[in-house]
Amino acid sequence: MNTSTWTQLSAVMRLELRKTFFTRRGWWIYILAFAPALLYLIHSIDSVRNHEQRQALAAANPVALYAIKQIQVGDTIEDVEKQLGPPYFHLTFKRREFEVRVYRYTNGDSDFAFNFFNGKVTRIDEEDRCNLQKDSAIFATTFQFFYLRLAVFFGCVGIFTNLFRGEMLDKSLHFYLLAPMRREVLLAGKYLAGLAAAVVIFTFGTALQIAALSWHFDKGVVPAYMHGTGWTDIASYLGITALACVGYGGIFLAAGLLFKNPIVPAAVVLLWEAANIFLPAALKKISVIFYLQSLCPLVASPDKDMSPFLRLLLSSAEPAAPWVAIGGLLAVTALVLTIAGLRSRKLEINYGTE
Amino acid sequence: MTPPALVNGTSMNGASAGRITFDNVSRFYGEVLGVNRVTLSIPSGITSLVGPNGSGKTTLMNMMAGLVRPTRGEIRVLDIPPTDPHRLCRAVGYATQFDSFPKGLTGFEFVTAFLRLFGYDNARCEALANASIARVRMGEAAHRKVAGYSKGMRQRIKLALAIAHDPPVLVLDEPLNGLDPLVRSETIALFREFASQGRHVIVSSHVLHEVDQISDQVILLSNGYVVAEGQIQGVRGEIQDQPMQVFIRSTRPALLAARLFELNHVVEARLAPDASAVLIKTKDADGFYRALNQLALGGIDIEGVMPADDNVNSVYEYLIGGGEAAR
């Protein structure tokens, strides 16, 4: 590549970066990217507030965890009151033939709800204080089932299909085609600009989510985690987010170039990616999400409340090795971009039919 | 400057250097005709494409600039085929009719940003942008956002971009739309300057009297076909089925009208409302001018003779129809 080509590439990127980051049309992409971080922040605030409340309640109604754990299903109200004292909260629901009561106790960390039916314990619900393990599992599930499959996916649809199709609709693509520049350079410049925008927006979103989720832990928890697998996990999540942008970006740039209405191929890809967990092992591997999930530090298990019928449809495939997953994704992206590059040579300006 | 006439229907081989040539070019958009069987050889100078909406003007221009490829036939711009966009884009500056710009840019940023796509370094881009913006007299507004420009300013900034890389071929789609009279005359002067430097200036317009003023040659289009081309007087002379109109000023117009009406080829003689001139319609221009000389020698005082219908408007009406010409 000579100097002139580099100048052209950077000129395309400069123009496109400006448009991609600051377009009014793209506000919803920021919402997709940053809304989960906001939810995690709310979760963290709620968690801190809950913990403080429980600490206060435990101070007013002290009860030992050991004593709580002694209570069994079948014990009477009298047994419970004798063992634990009065609850910090109780609820009674009476009818002529039955009585339901709920007693709540806390040791300052966890909250216990004893459910009584006609004076006997029928169920004990324990609500743990949020811990790193639990929050990591929540994050892994949200990341894989919402962030990658929906937020990054639709964000890339918005960013990358707009690079060509948006300019066709705005009637401004001809400015590029009137420059003595190879179409492949135009395509590369647009892709790199879109990729830079998508990677910055979504990896920043991922980083914010991790920060928002972890700030409420006690002093020492996060440094200990960082000392262990923390940095590797965070780097993996950021890298996977960037790889998702690489893969989906390539697909949707090509879709914007090849199809008049790129929403149709986007919907097809979305269905295919969404159906991935139900696909046979061999077909699973023909998707972006399979390789991305293979790279995740934690495997997100399907919802435990999922119906048995859906569980029957699930199939498992061995996760791909990291080098296969990364290499496969990059190879597929390169192939799709090559096809798009060949198509771009025949690109014409025909705004009238757009 | 007297430009060479357009060559229609002749072989392009060897004659295409320094010209824009279309050899039996057709372009279809699906089943819709853009242009059909167009063969042209356009010399340097100002060439106007004239025709109603949908006649194929923009399609011809897009093909010259390489934005659209012909379905059939061959195009060469100064011997460069559109399959070589790298050379073609350096040779052609195109101001399209599309009134859209990348958002958020000032006029100066718009021109420099797209000049960078030519591979020039920043200093050169800025120098070229400043020069072209000054040529279209947009210096004061150059650092304002394009979104705040008037229609005329947007037209001029597009023109600035088209001329910035100093192309030998300028293709301008409706370039005078939205310009006020002063800027319009300045812009026309700029076209003339370009043409006088031996460049091609291809202009499309609906405004026929303007085309008449600025063009060295015209190409009349209708429904995707070229219906006439060449220097406007030449085109008029080719239209045999419409009598030639001549306006003659004389001290004795009534006598002159009576004498001329005796000639077989004069089909109409009409006195001007102020009785100072006579309008003659004749089917034999040569015979008419010979007879007029005889009358002048015979003592009828002739103050001035002026063709009344060798302008684009008349030619357009004769060839395409009055309804279309009104567009």
DSSP string, B56-120: SHHHHHHHHHTSS--SEEEEEETTB-TT-HHHHHHHEEEE-S-----TT-BHHHHHHHHHHTTT-
Positive/negative CA dihedral, A273, A279, A281, A283: negative
* CB pair distance less than 8 Å for B86 and A171: no
Using alpha carbons only, how large is chain B's radius of gyration in Å?
A: 23
Residue A292 has pLDDT above 50, yes or no: yes
Q: How far apart are CA A339 and CA A281, in angstroms?
A: 27
Distance CA A259, CA A247 (A): 18
Residues in chain B: 327
Asked if the Cβ–Cβ distance from A23 to B103 is below 8 Å, we say yes
Give how far Cα A148 sits from Cα of A124, A144, B83, B149, Å.
Answer: 36, 5, 42, 42
- Strand B169-173 with B92-95, pairing: parallel
pLDDT of residue A312: 54
- Give the three-state DSSP class for A234: helix
**Cβ pairs A/B, distance under 8 A:** 85
CA distances from residue A245 to A20, A216, B59, B162 in whole angstroms, order as listed: 14, 30, 38, 36
- DSSP label at residue B304: E
Q: Which residues of B fall within a CB distance of 8 Å from A179?
A: 89, 114, 117-118
Inter-chain contact A180–B90, Cβ cutoff 8 Å?
A: yes
| Chain B CA closest to residue A5 | B119
A284 CB-near residues (< 8 Å, 6+ apart): A276, A290, A315, A317
pTM listed for this prediction: 0.80
Selected residue with higher pLDDT from B18 and B123? B123
Question: Are B67 and A348 in contact (CB < 8 Å)?
Answer: yes
- Residue of chain A minimizing CA distance to B34: A350
At residue A251 the predicted structure's pLDDT band, cuts being 50, 70 and 90, is very high
Evaluate if residue A25 carries a pLDDT over 90: no
> B100 and A170 in contact by Cβ < 8 A?
yes
Residues 9 to 68 of A: which have CB under 8 A from any B CB? 10-12, 14-15, 18-19, 22-23
As a whole number, the mean pLDDT across chain A is 87
Judged on CB neighbours under 10 Å (0-12, 13-18, 19+), A123 is exposed
Count of CB atoms situated within 10 Å of the CB of A348 = 15
Contacts of A22 in chain B (CB under 8 A): 104
The model's confidence at residue A301, banded by pLDDT at 50, 70 and 90, is: low
- A209 backbone dihedrals φ, ψ, rounded to 5°: -60, -45
In single-letter form, the type of residue at position A143 comes to F
Residue A158 to residues A81, A164, A197, A267: CA-CA distances in angstroms? Answer: 59, 11, 11, 13
> In this structure, are residues B199 and B163 in contact, taking their beta carbons and an 8 Å threshold?
no
Chain B CB contacts of A349 below 8 Å: 62, 67-68
Q: Is A1 on the interface with B (CB under 8 A)?
A: no
The pLDDT of residue B183 is 85
Residue B16 above 60 pLDDT? no
Report DSSP state, residue A353.
Answer: G
Residue holding tokens 């089943």? B31
The answer to whether A169 faces chain B, any CB pair under 8 Å, is: no
User: Which one of B117, B125, B146 would you mutate to disrupt binding with A, by most A Cβ within 10 Å of its Cβ?
Assistant: B117
pLDDT digits (tens, 9 = 90+) for A48-75: 888 888 889 888 888 888 888 888 899 9
Q: Are B165 and B115 in contact (CB under 8 A)?
A: yes
Cβ-contact A115, A123 below 8 angstroms: yes
> DSSP character for A86?
S
Phi, psi of A349, rounded to the nearest 5 degrees? -95, 115
From A350, which residue of chain B is nearest by alpha-carbon distance?
Answer: B68
pLDDT digits (tens, 9 = 90+) for A311-346: 555 555 567 788 888 998 899 899 999 999 999 998
3-state secondary structure of B213: helix
CB contact, 8 Å: A180 with chain B? yes
> What is the distance in angstroms between the Cα of B109 and the nearest Cα belonging to chain A?
10
DSSP state letter for A352 = G
ipTM (interface pTM): 0.77
| Cβ separation B98–A8 shorter than 8 A | no
Say if A301 is an interface residue toward chain B (CB within 8 Å). Answer: no
A351 Cβ under 8 Å from any chain B Cβ: yes
Half-sphere exposure of A290 (CA within 13 A, CB side): 24
Amino acid present at A347: L
**In terms of CA atoms, which chain A residue is nearest residue B99?**
A171
Tokens in use for B237? 């002379």
Determine, for residues B65 and A178 on separate chains, whether the beta-carbon distance falls below 8 Å: yes
More confident residue, A305 or A119: A119
Residue A179 is nearest to which of B98, B104, B117, comparing CB atoms? B117
pLDDT reported for residue B6: 45
Least CA distance to B112: which residue of chain A?
Answer: A11
Name every chain A residue with its beta carbon within 8 A of the beta carbon of B86: 180-182
Residue that is written with structure tokens 């101070």 in the block? A59
Please write the tens of the pLDDT for every residue from B237-293: 666 677 888 888 888 888 888 888 888 888 888 888 888 888 888 888 778 888 888
Q: Where do the DSSP E strands lie in A76-162?
A: 89-94, 99-106, 111-117, 120-127
Pairing outcome for strands B45-50 and B217-222: parallel
Specify whether the CB–CB gap between B18 and B77 falls below 8 A. no
Note whether B118 contacts A174, CB cutoff 8 Å. Answer: no
The chain-wide mean pLDDT, for chain B, equals 84
Query: A12: which chain B residues are within 8 Å (Cβ-Cβ)?
Result: 117
**CA A47 to centroid of chain Cα atoms:** 20
Q: Say if the Cβ atoms of A18 and B104 lie within 8 Å.
A: yes
- Dist. CA B193–CA A126, nearest whole Å: 88
**A132 token code pair:** 């790193």
A 10 A CB-CB count for A202 gives 27
Instruction: Report CB contact under 8 Å: A178, B67.
Output: yes
* Chain B: residue whose CA lies nearest to A175: B114
* Helix or strand run (H / E) with residue A19: helix A3-22
For helices A183-214 and A153-161, the axis angle rounded to 10 degrees is 150
The rounded percent of chain B whose pLDDT value lies above 70 is 87
Strand intervals (E) in chain A: 89-94, 99-106, 111-117, 120-127
Confidence of residue A302 (pLDDT cuts 50, 70, 90): low
Question: Which chain B residues are Cβ-neighbours of A189 within 8 angstroms?
Answer: none
Distance CA B156, CA B107 (A): 10
Q: Which of A19, A183, A346 has its CB closest to that of B103?
A: A19
3 state DSSP class of A140: helix
Which stretches of A85-165 are DSSP H helices? 132-142, 153-161
Beta strand B302-307 pairing with B244-250: antiparallel
Neighbours of B34 (CB within 10 A): 24
B178: alpha, beta or left, given left = phi > 0 and alpha = psi -120 to 50?
Answer: left
Question: Using beta carbons and an 8 Å cutoff, which residues of B are at the interface with A?
Answer: 29-30, 62, 65-69, 85-90, 92, 94, 96, 98, 100-104, 113-114, 116-121, 161
Euclidean distance between CA atoms B143 and B141, whole angstroms: 6
Q: Which residue of B has its CA nearest to A174?
A: B67
Taking CB atoms and an 8 Å limit, are A353 and B29 in contact across chains?
yes
Residue A164 gets which letter from DSSP?
I
Answer whether A349 sits within 8 Å of B62, measured CB to CB. Answer: yes
Q: Is A178–B87 a contact, with Cβ atoms under 8 angstroms apart?
A: no
